[in-house]
Amino acid sequence: QKEVEQNSGPLSVPEGAIASLNCTYSDRVSQSFFWYRQYSGKSPELIMSIYSNGDKEDGRFTAQLNKASQYVSLLIRDSQPSDSATYLCAVNEYNFGNEKLTFGTGTRLTIIP
Amino acid sequence: DADVTQTPRNRITKTGKRIMLECSQTKGHDRMYWYRQDPGLGLRLIYYSFDVKDINKGEISDGYSVSRQAQAKFSLSLESAIPNQTALYFCATSDSGLYLVDEQFFGPGTRLTVL
């Protein structure tokens, strides 16, 4: 069973600061990496995808991927109270042609006004 | 209108009852998935389907069955519900695009309680 590990938190960050969320994965051949945001009782929504080593920026969000270290992170700049949610890391898992996503258990982020 | 819909949104049932959760999508995606979410355990894959004729078991398929009635419809059944199947259930879809595993889009979820 391939694993995706996240610190469950809660992670508390002051409003306006940078929130840093981390994820490690065990499958060395994984190629697709996603960050989902999930508000309590709601469905996950995709906020970032990354496929290549390095940084990918979208507005206040930056995803960072390091395949050699099997590490993917999400930075949220200028954190807002509306960013308070659980963030799920998802990594593709090769399974003899039936590739699928494996999700971490999520990190709960709280932005303190 | 929502791209991925699930019915019912909430359901309370009793042990031993048969229950079906339905998922419909208007995104035109070939791939559909059923997950359950439990506190502290994250999202776990129950079944997935890459097209109408393709059904695959996920990591926790015991006690569940599925039916892919059409490209747009994927149903999950609990033949004889038990209390530890109480959870939040999500349907998701994805396209068979450039990457083998593309982003997934989730429905609103069904909260199931088995008494």
Mean pLDDT of B21-45: 93
What pLDDT does residue A94 have? 67
Does A92 lie at the interface with B, CB-CB under 8 angstroms?
A: yes
Tell me whether residues B101 and A88 touch, CB distance under 8 A.
no
Q: Chain B residue closest to A105 (CA)?
A: B42
What pLDDT does residue B101 have? 61
* pLDDT: which is higher, B98 or A38: A38
What pLDDT does residue B15 have? 97
Predicted confidence band at A2 (pLDDT cuts at 50, 70, 90)?
A: low
Distance (Å) of CA A75 to CA A18, A33, A40, A107, B87: 7, 15, 21, 13, 30
What pLDDT does residue A96 have? 62
Name the B residues in 32-71 with CB < 8 Å from any A CB.
Answer: 33, 40-45, 48, 50, 56, 58-59
* B99 pLDDT more than 60: no
* pLDDT: which is higher, A92 or A38: A38
Q: For B101, which of A32, A43, A45 is closest by C-beta distance?
A: A32
* A55 pLDDT more than 80: yes
Predicted confidence band at B7 (pLDDT cuts at 50, 70, 90)?
A: very high
The three-class DSSP label of residue A39 is coil
Predicted confidence band at A3 (pLDDT cuts at 50, 70, 90)?
A: confident
Mean pLDDT of B54-71: 94
Tell me whether residues B107 and A98 touch, CB distance under 8 A.
no
Percentage of chain B surpassing pLDDT 90? 82
Mean pLDDT of A2-6: 86
Burial (CB count <10 Å: 0-12, 13-18, 19+), residue B3: middle
Mean pLDDT of B25-38: 94
Residue B6: Cβ within 10 Å count = 22
Cα–Cα dist A24/A19, whole Å: 17
Helix, strand, coil shares of chain A, percent, nearest 5, are: 5, 55, 40
* B83 pLDDT more than 60: yes
